[in-house]
């Protein structure tokens, strides 16, 4: 049997074994079936024996026929409120990319950090970090990659085959910083939105989680971590005397080619800035000593709007604002909309449907009863261990699929825990899902820079293993301190 077929059939076999094990232990049929579906989806998501997005259709295919959920109950879970935050956020990204606003921002940042390899490394890391707060992590890496490679070629006098520590540091820095920057904002990366939807669906009556509170916690934490990343790469990869000066001719020429800032760039910058302000101020922020009112309180019912509404409204502005340089077109067109990877929507939906199936079948209660002993660990140790486990898992599986699986398993457990605020567990796990730095397959940015053949597996593992551990420590420290203050828990 071909290896790929062997891996494929391993999923159904393992699922059947688990299902029968539950059945012969006396558990209800519906719980046994749900356990089998959970194992099958987890196995295929982790091994990617089946496309991630195709695997996400399994609840639609299996839940109704197995008696777990009705079709009319499963289907709506594939188009939840958070999907429109994802769609609107992606369209804002494509608008920025269409008119090269992202390139102008990154080139300006890089020009501020010329003169030495260490400063240039910091420049690339900060450019990647800042852009990935708002753009897709993969898009950020792909956009910075040609600039990074051109600078590396200049460093090596156009000797493309020459491999040095500074080459690896620049490329790894771009990849790692894009993953870290994605956690700084709610729209920065998909696990963030997965976590928010799970939280809002199950624990909306506890501490409020919105764009502003996320940023107030995650930005300081991620900025500290990205600076640690810079120091780790600088110490472990950049050798003294390897190169004295850094020519910035390519960056200067690229900026000159862009010319003056166009009308479209200014319009998109304004629309994007308005979106960020509206996301920040949608709800009132209670800091104990003072309260900052939110604009949603001016409406008849504040619950009628959310971050997704802001994304949709801004998307409308992009569609209806005319372009000056391309007559008859607007800032974005249907062509940009068609670029949105719709498979992600089904990945979201499959995760939410799986979680609901776990809940209604009673499997969630079984998981909670068997893992509730976690609450007897010191909270800091629980957070640290969960972060490490999540990070390790995401080294081998998609970070989005990892977030979905861990949320599905942990939500019923958290519901049974006394005196443990849900955010103290869910937010660290969501962030840890993005912090997989050790392997080239850990994240798409890792894979992209490894594909340049200027980074070795040894270099990535040597730096990544330290950052995996440090990431778990940083998340734990900030959650136990700043997190309690920002979220009032």
Q: Tokens representing 25?
A: 């232990």
In a domain, 419, yes or no: no
Residue 480 clears pLDDT 90, i.e. is over it: yes
What is the model's pLDDT at position 35?
92
Q: Which of 43-47, 243-247, 414-418 has the highest mean pLDDT?
A: 43-47
In a domain, 288, yes or no: yes
Summary mean pLDDT of the chain: 85
Please report, rounded to a whole number, the percentage of residues in the chain having pLDDT higher than 70: 94
pTM for the model: 0.81
In a domain, 253, yes or no: yes
- Do 239 and 165 meet the contact criterion of CB atoms below 8 Å apart? yes
Domain count for the chain: 1
> What's the pLDDT band for 438 if we cut at 50, 70, 90?
confident
Q: Find tokens 């850094």 and name the residue.
A: 246
In a domain, 134, yes or no: yes
Residue 426 clears pLDDT 70, i.e. is over it: yes
Residue 236 clears pLDDT 80, i.e. is over it: yes
Residue 98 clears pLDDT 60, i.e. is over it: yes
Average pLDDT of the segment spanning 402-416: 85
Cα–Cα separations (whole angstroms), residue 349 to 35, 55, 309, 369: 18, 11, 19, 26
In a domain, 111, yes or no: yes
Average pLDDT of the segment spanning 434-443: 84
Residue 336 clears pLDDT 70, i.e. is over it: yes
| Structure-model confidence comparison of residues 150 and 21, the more confident one | 21
Burial classification of residue 93, based on how many CB atoms lie within 10 Å of its CB (0-12 exposed, 13-18 middle, 19 or more buried): buried
Distance CA 93, CA 315 (A): 11
What is the model's pLDDT at position 120?
84
Distance CA 367, CA 135 (A): 36
What is the model's pLDDT at position 247?
62
| Structure-model confidence comparison of residues 143 and 323, the more confident one | 323
What is the model's pLDDT at position 240?
63
Give, for 292, the enclosing helix (H) or strand (E): strand 291-292
E-strand spans in 349-468?
none
Contacts of 289 (CB under 8 A, 6+ apart): none
Nearest Cα to Cα of residue 98 among 379, 323, 367, 425: 323
Q: Which residues partner with 291 through β-bridges? A: 286
Give residue-wise pLDDT tens across range 241-278.
Answer: 555 556 667 778 878 888 888 899 999 989 988 988 88
What is the model's pLDDT at position 79?
87
Distance CA 132, CA 116 (A): 24
What is the model's pLDDT at position 289?
60
Give residue-wise pLDDT tens across range 366-388.
Answer: 887 777 777 778 899 999 999 99
Q: Which of 133-147, 199-213, 259-273 has the highest mean pLDDT?
A: 259-273
> What's the pLDDT band for 157 if we cut at 50, 70, 90?
low
Cα–Cα separations (whole angstroms), residue 341 to 92, 396, 397, 438: 14, 22, 19, 26
Range of the domain at 317: 81-200+208-337
In a domain, 268, yes or no: yes
In a domain, 280, yes or no: yes
Per-residue burial over 419-432, b = 16 or more CB atoms within 10 Å of its CB, e = otherwise: ebbbbbbbbbbbbb
> What's the pLDDT band for 1 if we cut at 50, 70, 90?
low
Give residue-wise pLDDT tens across range 273-319.
Answer: 898 888 888 877 665 566 677 788 888 888 788 888 988 999 999 99
In a domain, 396, yes or no: no
Cα R_g (the chain), whole angstroms = 23
Distance CA 81, CA 369 (A): 31
């Amino acid at each position: 049997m071909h290896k790929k077929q062997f891996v494929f059939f391993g999923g159904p076999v393992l699922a059947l074994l688990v299902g029968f094990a539950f059945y012969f232990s006396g558990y209800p049929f519906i719980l046994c079936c749900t356990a089998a579906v959970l194992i099958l989806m987890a196995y295929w998501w982790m091994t990617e024996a089946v496309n991630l997005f195709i695997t996400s259709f399994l609840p639609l295919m299996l839940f109704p026929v197995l008696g777990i959920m009705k079709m009319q109950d499963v289907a709506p879970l594939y188009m939840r409120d958070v999907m429109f935050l994802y769609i609107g956020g992606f369209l804002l990204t494509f608008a920025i990319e269409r008119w090269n606003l992202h390139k102008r921002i990154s080139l300006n940042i890089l020009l501020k950090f010329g003169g030495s390899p260490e400063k240039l490394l910091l420049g690339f890391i900060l450019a990647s970090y800042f852009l990935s707060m708002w753009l897709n992590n993969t898009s950020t890496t792909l956009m910075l990659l040609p600039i990074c490679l051109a600078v590396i070629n200049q460093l090596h006098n156009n000797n493309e085959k020459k491999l040095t520590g500074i080459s690896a540091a620049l490329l790894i820095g771009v990849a790692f910083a894009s993953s870290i920057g994605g956690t700084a904002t709610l729209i920065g990366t998909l696990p963030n939105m997965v976590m928010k939807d799970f939280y809002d669906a199950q624990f909306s009556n506890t501490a409020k989680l919105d764009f502003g509170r996320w940023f107030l916690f995650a930005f300081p934490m991620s900025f500290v971590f990205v600076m640690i990343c810079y120091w780790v790469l600088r110490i472990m990869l950049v050798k003294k005397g390897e190169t004295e000066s850094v020519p910035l001719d390519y960056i200067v020429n690229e900026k000159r080619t862009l010319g003056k800032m166009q009308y479209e760039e200014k319009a998109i910058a304004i629309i994007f800035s308005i979106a960020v302000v509206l996301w920040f101020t949608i709800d009132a922020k209670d800091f104990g000593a003072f309260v900052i009112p939110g604009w949603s309180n001016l409406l008849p019912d504040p619950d009628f709007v959310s971050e997704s509404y802001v994304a949709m409204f801004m998307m409308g502005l992009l569609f209806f604002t005319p372009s000056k340089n391309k007559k008859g077109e607007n800032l974005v067109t249907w062509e940009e909309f068609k670029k949105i990877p719709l498979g992600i929507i089904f990945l979201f939906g499959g995760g939410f449907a799986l979680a609901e199936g776990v809940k209604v079948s009673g499997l969630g209660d079984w998981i909670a009863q068997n893992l509730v002993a976690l609450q007897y660990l010191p909270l800091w140790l629980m957070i640290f261990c969960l972060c490490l486990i999540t990070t390790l898992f995401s080294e081998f599986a998609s970070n989005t699929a990892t977030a979905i699986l861990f949320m599905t398993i942990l939500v019923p457990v958290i519901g049974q825990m006394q005196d443990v605020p849900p955010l103290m567990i869910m937010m660290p796990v969501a962030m840890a899902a993005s912090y997989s730095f050790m392997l080239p397959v850990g994240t798409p940015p890792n894979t992209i820079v490894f594909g340049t053949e200027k980074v070795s597996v040894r270099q990535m593992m040597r730096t990544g293993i330290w950052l995996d551990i440090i990431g778990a420590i940083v998340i734990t420290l900030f959650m136990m301190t700043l997190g309690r203050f920002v979220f009032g828990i």
